[in-house]
């Protein structure tokens, strides 16, 4: 007899410092481990990236284990709620003669009995990619394959063919889905690290017609990102109320008419205000809403590491944070230092100093319609790799984890996964909303792993 899964969630809904309230929940969804992979490495390029690519890149990505094909081939994929078409690096990819260390094994379509490339005259190629920035296109004879070209805000791009195969996630039944079988790339949304397997591709989870959740008719999914190197959880399906009944929901925003800068398949919510500590910043409502071009939408994105704010909201946040932390942290004092081209509120301090100060830093709250994403403590600062200051390099360089969208070349607000750590985030597609609740994601993960072994 198959046992019903039981998950222990520890929601931190009480005052800071209080013990979390833990409860058991029975559910019918699929649970997968969700890893934070450190040290994103951009692999060597096979061709020069387009000049309009942005300068920033992610140092941490979220990955999940997936089995693809028959017999199953185990791969690791970046979880990205900001992207549509999933893709895998396939055999035959153009790579340099000396691949990067720990390069991920490519997916071998020819070894899968369920793999099939999409023909350029097929409905999949003709109309199902209508939501992609660059729709699939016909390669023409002799192959007549359906080509896909994908690009991302962190300077990554991937090209290949549209194909279909079976995907197995956790203990759920296999599902058939279209994906990009990538044969060339200029950099990566996939990652590698010293202690984790590199990612083979990306799992697209937005609301587009070719996203994994749309193709598999997934009506609800959620994740809980654990801090540090510990695994979190990805839950597909199930009863959201049974898992986390105390979520605060914010509705998804949709604009019916096409606008040049509005991503209509993103998880777009309404940002209504920003506070630093108890101080609500004097930001006009018009600054926080999409304008007539669609610029200014707010997206919840697991594929972006940090949070980005448009300049008219970023400037008052930066000023108020510097004002409230003047007695705690010493500014870097280098006007030309900008981390990843978008983060210029930076400080110099030893690790011990930041550890002590982090408990006294003012919380930053992103006030949404009906919910709030609160960012405090260690999540407010990020140590810039390789940057040391002071005698003998005694001080590290730290930057506020809110970036300037305008400096990065973006026209939107983006809530990244760094600020979603220890938060239960639920995407309820059936009811058109996103829910948030503070949680101890490390405890939820440890309990699930323990029960899985019993």
Identify whether 239 is a catalytic site residue. Answer: no
Q: Evaluate the CA torsion angle 346, 365, 265, 115 in order and state its sign.
A: positive
Query: Any bridge partners for residue 179, and if so which?
Result: 163
Active-site choice (80, 165, 344, 442) = 80
Burial class of residue 130 (count of CB atoms within 10 Å of its CB; 0-12, 13-18, 19+): exposed
Identify whether 80 is a catalytic site residue. Answer: yes
Residue listed under structure tokens 């010293």:
194
Establish how many alpha carbons lie within 13 A of residue 232's alpha carbon, considering only the half-sphere containing its beta carbon: 30
Active-site choice (154, 301, 428, 442) = 301
CA distance 341 to 113: 46
- Beta strand 413-415 with 298-300 is parallel
User: SS3 string of the chain?
Assistant: CCCCCEEEEEECCCCCCCCCEEEEEECCCEEEEEEEEECCCCCCCCCCCCCCCCCCCCCEEEEEEEEECCCCEEEEEEEECCCCECEEEECCCCCCCCCCCCCCCCECHHHCCCCEECECCCHHHHCCCCCCCCCCEECCCCCCEEEEEEECCCCCEEEEEEEEEEEECCCCCCEEEEEEEEEEECCCCCCCCCCCCCCCEEEECCCCCCEHHHHCCCCEEEEEECCCCCCEEEEECCCHHHHCCCCEEEECCCCCCCCCCCCCCCCEECEEEEEECCEECCCCHHHHCCCCCCCCCEEECCCCCCEEECHHHHHHHHHHHHHHCCCCCEECCCCCCCECCCECCEEEECHHHHHHHHHHCCCEEEEECCEEEEECHHHHEEEEEEEEECHHHCEEEEEECEEEHHHHCCCCEEECHHHHECEEEEEECCCCEEEEEEECHHHHHHHHHHHHHC
Question: For the chain, how far is it from start to end, CA to CA, in angstroms?
Answer: 14
- What is the set of active-site residues? 80, 301
């Amino acid at each position: 007899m198959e046992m019903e899964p039981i998950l222990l969630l520890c929601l931190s809904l009480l005052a800071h410092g209080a013990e979390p309230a833990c409860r058991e929940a029975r559910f019918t969804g699929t649970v997968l481990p969700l890893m934070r992979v450190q040290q994103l490495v951009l692999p060597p390029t096979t061709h020069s990236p387009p000049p309009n690519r942005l300068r920033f890149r992610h140092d941490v990505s979220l990955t999940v284990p997936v089995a693809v094909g028959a017999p199953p081939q185990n791969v690791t994929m970046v979880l990205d709620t900001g992207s549509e078409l999933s893709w895998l690096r396939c055999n035959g990819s153009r790579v340099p003669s000396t691949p990067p260390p720990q390069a991920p094994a490519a997916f071998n379509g020819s070894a899968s009995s369920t793999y099939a490339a999409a023909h350029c005259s097929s409905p999949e190629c003709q109309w199902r990619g209508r939501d992609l920035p660059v729709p699939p296109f016909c390669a023409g004879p002799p192959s007549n394959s359906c080509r896909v070209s994908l690009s991302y805000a962190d300077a990554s791009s991937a090209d290949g063919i549209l194909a279909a195969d079976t995907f197995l996630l956790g203990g759920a039944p296999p599902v058939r889905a279209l994906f990009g079988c990538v044969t060339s790339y200029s950099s990566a949304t996939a990652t590698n690290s010293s202690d984790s397997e590199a990612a083979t591709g990306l799992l697209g989870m937005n609301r587009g017609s070719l996203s994994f959740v749309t193709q598999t008719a997934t009506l609800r999914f959620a994740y809980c990102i654990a801090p540090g190197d510990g695994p979190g959880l990805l839950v597909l399906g199930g009863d959201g109320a049974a898992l986390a009944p105390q979520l605060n929901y914010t509705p998804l925003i949709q604009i019916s008419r096409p606008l040049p800068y509005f991503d209509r398949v993103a998880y777009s919510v309404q940002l209504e205000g920003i506070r630093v500590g108890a101080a609500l910043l004097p930001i006009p409502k018009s600054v926080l809403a999409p304008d007539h071009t669609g610029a200014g939408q707010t997206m919840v994105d697991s594929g972006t590491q940090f949070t980005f704010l448009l300049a008219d909201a970023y400037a008052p946040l930066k000023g108020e944070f510097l004002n409230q932390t003047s007695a705690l942290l010493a500014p870097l004092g280098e006007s030309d230092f900008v981390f990843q081209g978008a983060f210029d509120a930076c400080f110099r301090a030893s690790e011990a100093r930041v550890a002590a100060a982090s408990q006294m830093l003012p919380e930053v709250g992103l006030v949404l319609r009906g919910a709030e994403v609160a960012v405090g403590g260690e999540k407010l600062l990020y140590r810039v790799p390789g940057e040391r200051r002071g005698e003998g390099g005694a001080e590290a360089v730290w930057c506020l984890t809110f970036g300037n969208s305008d400096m990065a070349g973006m026209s939107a607000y983006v809530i990244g996964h760094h600020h979603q750590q220890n938060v239960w985030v639920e995407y309820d597609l059936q009811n058109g909303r996103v829910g948030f609740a503070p949680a101890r994601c490390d405890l939820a993960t440890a309990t699930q792993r323990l029960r899985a072994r019993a």
